[in-house]
Amino acid sequence: MRLFVGLGNPGAKYARNRHNAGFMALDRIAADHGFAPWRSRFQGELTEGRIGGGKHLRIKARSFEIRSGQPVGEAARYFDIAPEDITVFQDELDLAPGKVRVKRGGGHAGHNGLRSLHAHLGPDYRRVRIGIGHPGHKDRVSGYVLSDFAKAEIALIDDVMRGISDGADALAAGDDGRFMNAVALRVAPPRASPGTAPDHRSGDRPRAAPPVEKERPAAAKPAPAVPEPATDRRSPLQRLADRFR
């Protein structure tokens, strides 16, 4: 059994905040993969389902992100899930919006949610770092992460979440490379090369476009043949006589 954890703050007020990227990822996965409805447990919201043939749990803390380690730790101990089998979805200031990276172990880099998880789990869990960009100065970070994604970012963030969901099977199997490819295909799909057209019957993969047959100019019609005049072999006297007949 594996545990997927989303970091964020509970309540509609924070639902579209940059700080709630982890919650957004879990909601997308749960919806796309037919997980059971969310239910209250371990001071959080829990759902379960199957990905890639294995059973997976999803948990979102009802406490604020700064205390998210407690419900996650309780769930991990109850189901006997080792930190190596826990994947945490988090917002990442040091990555631009649209960028996603997978990291195993390491420090919390001042992230309050990770700091709390370190205290209850240690550092050996895996993180999916979802880029939200940086406001440019550390004094603006708090207000920035607790603000909603800009309108211009919404379509991109939606693609990121769909890509994460597309790659959930690979992530569950520990295939980080295939997971990253799934995200990349959503965020920056390959462009069709010149002379190709999308094939909607084969997953929108480009296929060779049919050759365009150039119209040939119509052949000129031959001019009607003009009969050559017959040679008049009569003598002048005969021609004069013929006129008076």
Whether 234 is in a domain gets the answer no
| Structural domain contains residue 19 | yes
> What is the C-alpha to C-alpha distance for residues 189 and 54, in angstroms, rounded to an integer?
29
Residue 116 has pLDDT above 70, yes or no: yes
146: in domain: yes
Domain span including residue 178: 2-187
Closest CA to 132 of 172, 96, 101, 160: 96
Lowest mean pLDDT among 68-82, 85-99, 222-236: 222-236
Answer yes or no: is 230 within a domain. Answer: no
Query: What predicted TM-score, i.e. pTM, was given to this entire model?
Result: 0.75
Q: Determine, yes or no, domain membership for 111.
A: yes
Q: How far apart are CA 63 and CA 37, in angstroms?
A: 19
CATH of the domain at 162: 3.40.50.1470
* pLDDT surpasses 50 at 236: yes
In a domain, residue 17? The reply is yes
* CA gap 66, 101 in Å, rounded: 22
Q: What is the pLDDT of residues 132-143, one digit of tens each?
A: 999 999 899 999
| Number of domains the chain contains | 1
* Position 226 in a domain: no
Residues 6 or more apart whose Cβ sits within 8 Å of residue 176? 102, 170
Distance, in Å, from the CA atom of 172 to the CA atom of 2, rounded to the nearest integer, reads 8
Residue at 192 is within a domain:
no
Q: Residue 56: beta bridge partners?
A: 2, 49
76-80, 134-138, 201-205, 238-242: segment of lowest average pLDDT: 201-205
Tell me the average pLDDT across 4-18.
91
Catalytic residues: 19
